[in-house]
Amino acid sequence: MEEATINIINLRLRTYIGFNPEELTKQQDIVINAQITYPAGNACSTDEETQALNYKTITKKMIAHVEDGHFKLLEKLTSDLLEIAMASELVTFAKVTVEKPHALRFADSVSLTLSAKRN
């Protein structure tokens, strides 16, 4: 059985993230990377979109959640996005990383990664 890994790379969005006074009123850039694994045997053999995991639907849900949300912690935002990635019963594994560029003065970004596996 073929297993496919979908990679969503550098999805750049803006949201309210943080708990400092200026972070509560000003949106900030975030960068999302996700890996989503599912058994792709049927999609590979049939070439039918109905047999594949629809990454566009997953990405649209992530975008809406981020753009409509207010988050204090990277942990909460990343956890929510991981839940969206794992929502389909087809998904066997997902890993989501959220970066907060310029969160630290001398660093390019700060990121947090969470993963989940379905037994």
In whole angstroms, give the CA distance from residue 38 to residue 98. 21
The Cα–Cα gap between 51 and 61 comes to 20
**Do residues 66 and 13 lie in contact, with contact meaning Cβ atoms separated by under 8 Å?**
yes
- Note the pLDDT tens digit of each residue in 66-84: 999 999 999 999 999 999 9
Note the pLDDT of residue 66. Answer: 98
The pLDDT score that the predictor gives to residue 47 is 87
Break the chain into its structural domains and give their ranges: 3-117
pLDDT of residue 27: 94
Give the model's confidence band at 103: pLDDT under 50 very low, under 70 low, under 90 confident, else very high. Answer: confident
Those residues with Cβ within 8 angstroms of residue 89's Cβ, 6 or more apart along the chain or in another chain: 118
Whether 97 contacts 78, CB under 8 Å: yes
The pLDDT, as a whole number, for residue 5 is: 97
Per residue in 5-49, pLDDT (tens digit) is 999 999 999 999 999 888 889 999 999 999 999 999 988 889 888
Structural contact between residues 78 and 98, judged by C-beta atoms closer than 8 angstroms: yes
Please state which CATH class domain 3-117 belongs to: alpha beta
